[in-house]
Structures are given as structure tokens and as C-alpha cells.
């Protein structure tokens, strides 16, 4: 499953040795871990970092540590790819805290066919309520990557909890913390049409 959102990159530095030869550039990236393949003593591993678009991060052979959930890491850029270079803790000023928010709307298939949020892995939430700036476009539609296993029926009103860069976290059930009830439409007015009566039936 691929989620297409914006990768939060905090720093980009080119490290130059004393000899003047350029070493790998490094970046800071934050996101949620998916598809972890741990490294062994002799073989590298990898994982997907969902923070914007999904990026594959290589783990060098012999690397240990708990790689799970939401995290911030240093990565080296080697031949255009990301290689894990270390964890960034919450006390580090480069760490981006994941702040969950709830966004609600009517679930619909994705109608965007080009651009960063096109494709069937995304769904639309129409007439969005809640959330923060940047989740919905000018028409009130948000496009989010939601795993098929977590998708209710199209056309239903749903609330989703999302984190940094609008990464899907979970469905929010009615009545749960953060749930926003759907807006109610206008009530049906009573029938006030004129009833025609045959007055000849009342002649004296």
C-alpha cells in the first residue's frame, strides 16, 4: 500500500571531507513505519517510511534497534536512495511531533487521475468537517490513503484520525473522542398542496 503525501524534510546537508571529496548527503525524515524487514548480522534490511509519499529506507547489515510506529530518523542518501543512519529522539529540536487530528466526510472513490494523490490507493472525503488547514482542497474534498481493510462502504459518512502529513491512523467510531456528527440537511416540509374537493357533493 502506498500513501502519497508530503515528506517533511527538516535539513539537507552536504558533508565534505578534508580532502574535498563529497560524502553522502543526509536528511531528516519523520513518518510511520511499514513493511519492516529487519537486518541480520550479514544481510541488510529495509522498511517503508510513510511521510508524504512512501519511501524505502535501507537498514545496513548488523544494525539493531526498534524500528516501529511513528519516528524521526537521520538518513544518508546513497545512489539516490535512503539508508538509515540513526534515530532522532523527541528531545532533539529536529523531531516533529505527530499531532493526531480527526477529519470527517462522505467516503467516495478517488477522481484524481494525475498528480501526487491520484490512484486507487486513495479515497476522497467530500464535504469535509474538522481537520487542519491543508487537508481539504477549495471544494471541501480531502484525498487520503486508507488501507482497503479499513475502508467502510463508499457513500458512508466516516471520521478518520490522521497524524503528521495527514497519514491515516484509524477510523473513529460514532461517539468516540473526536468524532464529529454529520451535518443534518433541511427537514422535509409537510405537504401543503391544495386538495380539490367536488363541491357538488355538498349541494342542498
pLDDT in tens, 4-63: 333 333 333 332 333 333 445 788 888 878 889 999 999 999 998 876 557 899 999 999
| Cell 503528521 found at | 164
What is the average pLDDT across 121-133?
A: 86
Of 57, 65, 58, nearest to 43 by C-alpha is 58
What's the CA gap between 70 and 99, in Å, rounded?
Answer: 11
pLDDT in tens, 66-86: 898 888 999 999 998 999 999
What is the average pLDDT across 172-178?
A: 86
Distances (CA, A) of 53 to 36, 144, 175, 199, 204: 17, 12, 32, 74, 84
Which residues make up the CATH 2.40.50.140 domain(s) of the chain? 9-88
CATH number for the region 9-88 comes to 2.40.50.140
Amino acid at each position: 500500500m502506498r500513501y502519497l503525501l508530503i515528506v517533511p524534510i527538516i535539513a539537507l546537508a552536504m558533508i565534505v571531507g578534508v580532502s574535498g571529496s563529497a560524502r553522502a548527503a543526509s536528511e531528516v525524515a519523520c513518518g510511520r513505519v511499514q513493511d519492516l524487514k529487519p537486518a541480520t548480522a550479514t544481510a541488510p534490511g529495509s522498511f517503508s517510511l510513510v511521510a508524504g509519499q512512501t519511501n524505502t529506507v535501507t537498514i545496513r547489515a548488523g544494525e539493531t534497534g526498534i524500528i516501529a510506529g511513528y519516528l524521526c530518523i537521520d538518513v544518508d542518501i546513497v545512489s539516490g536512495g535512503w539508508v538509515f543512519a540513526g534515530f532522532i529522539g523527541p528531545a532533539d529540536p529536529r523531531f516533529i511531533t505527530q499531532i493526531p487530528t480527526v477529519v470527517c466526510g462522505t467516503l467516495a472513490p478517488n477522481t484524481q487521475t494525475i498528480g501526487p494523490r491520484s490512484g486507487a490507493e486513495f479515497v476522497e472525503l467530500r464535504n469535509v468537517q474538522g481537520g487542519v488547514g491543508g487537508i481539504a482542497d477549495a471544494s471541501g474534498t480531502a484525498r487520503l490513503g486508507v488501507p482497503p481493510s479499513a475502508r467502510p462502504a463508499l457513500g458512508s459518512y466516516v471520521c478518520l484520525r490522521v497524524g503528521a502529513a495527514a497519514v491515516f491512523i484509524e477510523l473513529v467510531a460514532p461517539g468516540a473522542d473526536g468524532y464529529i456528527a454529520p451535518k443534518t440537511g433541511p427537514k422535509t416540509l409537510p405537504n401543503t398542496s391544495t386538495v380539490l374537493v367536488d363541491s357538488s357533493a355538498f349541494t342542498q
